[in-house]
Structure 1
């Protein structure tokens, strides 16, 4: 990857395999990569299935220590130029697995980072969860979620989709906004993205260094 290339970390919190959450994540990533390519910007996309790290995430919450595999995921996410975050909607909000992963990140790790939010559920009546639950979460972490959040209901994946804005249009709009946000920023450092020193400020406790819950 060249020094001007950008990295996007995609986190998918789907619980099944395959899942509509991952399908949405892949489409958002592909659309964003296409938008960046049209701007002459090289991009590298890393997709992480949180279900593969569910036990490690729980152990991190309980012990304050991130096992190596989870630590690699954390480092890749927080050192990326932008994040695409997709979660299923359970009980009118993001999934517990999604929130647990966010909880193991350092509170300052996503500051200023562009984020494209995606969510999916069985019916379109859950679409508002993006704006009353997920967007405030990233805003609290001082990330910069783009204006368009992309929600997909089960009907969006079929020929009988009846939403005002078809899924493909929403994906393209969100991808364009994320690509614009990435293009306005300087590329992330070319130093080792898996070195904790690259995303944690000086003076952090050892617990913070490993994604723990220092300060509680």
Structure 2
């Protein structure tokens, strides 16, 4: 431990004055980046996960009802027909409760049967980024082929993208250059959008431009990459 502290002290002494002033800034940047990531992953993903789980549950139930096997006599064990009927009724009741829960969640998500809500959401995201003083460099749907980029997808294509996505919703790649305060403002603003937008993946990289000799160090910024599920 003493050897490590001595080595660290020597490295600190070898740093120039500008580099020493930059170290606390970068440390603060990393701390704020960690806080931003924590905030991003607790705001909406719980609602999104619940919707995805319920959708998959209903799909499995539908498939099971269509492909229910015919069981041979004696394969039901010692349970009586009355017990089996009670179990089936309980399962049907649980399925209905889950369907009701899914129906309650649906209004929070942009409808996929028309393109207007999606356009409204993209415009709101762009305005939110501009209001937070983010330099937006990329905002596009994930899963589109190269020849599909640059043109609005049809409602049918949006539904296909949703079915192929992990959460059964379309996902957009968001990339921007941001200040720490601007990123926090953007993440806070997601809850004000007309429909649910949940960050499901986030990458932050701290960048700092070298300052000319004799000048104060320049403020660092964040290179932000996010996958936003709509």
TM-score interval (norm. to shorter): under 0.3
Structure number with higher helix proportion: 2
